[in-house]
Structure 1
Amino acid sequence: MMQDKHTMPPDNLYRWKKPSFIKNPWLRYGLIIISAVYLFYAFSTLSLDIQRVMRGIPRAMQIFSSAIPPDFAARGSLIVTGFIESLQITVVATFAGVLLSIPFGFMAAKNISIRPVYWLGRAIIIVSRSLHPIVLGVLFVKAVGFGAFAGVLTLIIYTIGFVGKLIAEAIEEIKYGQIEAIRSTGAGYFTILVYAVFPQILPRLIGLTMYQFDINLRASAVIGLVGAGGIGNTLNSAFGRYDYGTASAILLVMIAVILVVEAASGKLRRFTR
């Protein structure tokens, strides 16, 4: 059946419009030339030594040959202990980091916060996201010493930067119907946040928590390389002893554990939708 022309959507809703830098040939080709020049400059300033790479290939092959087959028996107890510590670091850091991300996310949401609070929340999240976990791990190892506590602090800051930003974006996309309904009853500001804003972001918060758990489990292995506890510390010790069989066993177990956690979190996310 034909639709009336007055009920059909206008064509400009579906018509793609070229951005200004594509329309303007001078701007378009200028950006291409600048990008090409910069790439050439970047490659020319890198000290790429082909001979050094060729000399490193036999050493890499020797390492790979020493890592096969993986040795699970020699340091099995250390591998198990390291993974238990990584799991403990991940659970504690994810739980504490997500709890702290909630108020910072509310602070950084433009539609519910006053300007000073908004800029403070954004600043905290930006600083947390600006520092790589390895840099944070080095800082906390220097501050509190080697061990799991430095790893927990590192992943808490890392979680705040990631989850806090996404919570703020989720709050900025909420529907105002529930807010107006609760506000009409004379509810105060914090009551509106608890009963109108938080329930709308709760499903996304659950998904973010499980996703961040996966990320923190991987990151716990990386920060262990700088002394922040977990299986990364065991892996670093294996490389330091040139025990490549144990190192390959650790890597295989890491892959297996992360695959299991990924599958479990995927199923849990389906239940929360």
Structure 2
Amino acid sequence: MTDADASRVPDSRRHWQKPPFIANPWLRWGVVLGLLLYAVWAISTLPFDLDRISQGMTRASRIFSGAFPPNFARYELLIDGFLESLQIAILATLLGLILSVPIAFMAARNIAATPIYLLGRGIIIVSRSFHPVIVAILFVKAVGFGPVAGILTLTLYSIGFVAKMLAERIEEIDRGQVEALRASGSRYIGVLQFAVLPQIMPRQIGLGIYQLDSNLRASAVVGIVGAGGIGSTLMNAFGRYDYDFALAITLVIIGVILVSEAISGRIRRSIG
């Protein structure tokens, strides 16, 4: 950096300053002491049962001893469960992306009227308020066991993340293109189609790839409560005390997630 460039940089960026938490020793040690007191209070008030913990360690050792070596003999069930999880993840991602676009437009302050903005933000807040497992339990009760509950759960989960990130991207767009189309007499839909959508499309593609990867992981979790996929196969294996088969399923889940993470990361880097 030249002297001329440095002169244009604000002093706050040229000279690093300690944050208040680091610079003020009273604040720093006060926070540390408060965390220690809270930890002591929490440990002393939570109902820990040492006898049950001891019994749990015994059961855990029995489970782990029965899980080795992993048993891949019933690979047909494993493949069927994985393919169902993949189908759930893909369908939920597609539905989530389709629904997220209009909700993101509603939740962007710079292009939506205040009542529409509040409605869009409300939908996003509700979608993000609950863990997917809780939502999966509700949908399992509503539509029964199976992949439909998983698709609905992960669709709602996708909307909460994708719509929020997309709305924030819309609020950062170049206003010049929007004003130019408005000045030429374009309608509101035309402005969204030709001025807003092209600017957010790269982010939409990246979010879609990330959400597919996330939904693939989440499908294994929501399946544990009956929402279909490999998670249901895993719970059935535990219910039959087939710990060796359960370990085989767990290893496959880990392997698939690792491969999915590597592929999605490379795709995001290539388009980013």
User: Normalising by the residue count of structure 1, what TM-score does the alignment of the two structures yield?
Assistant: 0.90
The two structures, once aligned, show a CA RMSD in angstroms of 2.4
Give how far 1:142 is off: 0.5
Q: Once the two structures are superposed, what CA deviation does each residue of 1:79-127 show, in whole Å capped at 9, x if it has no partner?
A: 1111111111111000001110111111111121111111111111111
1:176 aligns with 2:175: yes
Deviation at 1:15, TM superposition (A): 3.7
Cα 1:121–1:66 change in 2 (3 A) is same
How much does 1:55 deviate?
2.9
- Aligned mates of 2:247, 2:2 — CA distance in 1: 66
Equivalent position SS for 2:173: coil
Identical counterparts, % of pairs = 57
For 1:190 and 1:89, the matched residues in 2 are separated by: 32
1:168-203 superposed Cα distances (whole Å, 9 cap, x missing partner): 111112222222232232212221111111111111
Cα distance in 2 for partners of 1:20, 1:232 equals 46
Distance 1:8 1:137, change over 3 A: closer
Shift of 1:7: 4.9
CA distance in structure 1 between the partners assigned to 2:216 and 2:228 by the alignment = 12
Change (3 A) 1:178 1:135: same
Give the match for residue 103 of structure 1.
Answer: 102
Code of the aligned partner of 2:62: Q
What is the CA–CA distance in structure 2 between the aligned matches of 1:88 and 1:183, rounded to whole Å? 42
Residue 209 of structure 1 corresponds to 208
Q: 1:160 matched to which residue of 2?
A: 159
Decide which moves more: 7-16 or 98-107: 7-16
Which shifted more, 163-172 or 17-26? Answer: 17-26
State the partner residue of 1:137.
Answer: 136
Match status 1:40 vs 2:50: no
Alpha-carbon distance, 1:255 to partner = 1.3
- For residues 256 and 185 of structure 1, do their structure 2 counterparts lie closer, same or farther at Cα, with a shift above 3 Å needed? same
Q: What code does the residue aligned with 2:172 have?
A: E
Q: Give the C-alpha shift of residue 58 in structure 1.
A: 2.7
Aligned to 1:193: 192
Query: Take 1:186 and 1:193, find their aligned partners in 2: how far apart are those partners?
Result: 13
> What's the CA shift for 1:31?
4.7
Q: TM-score, normalised by structure 2?
A: 0.90
**Structure 1 residue 219 corresponds to structure 2 residue 218:** yes
Residue type of the partner of 2:212? F
Secondary structure, counterpart of 1:113 in structure 2:
coil
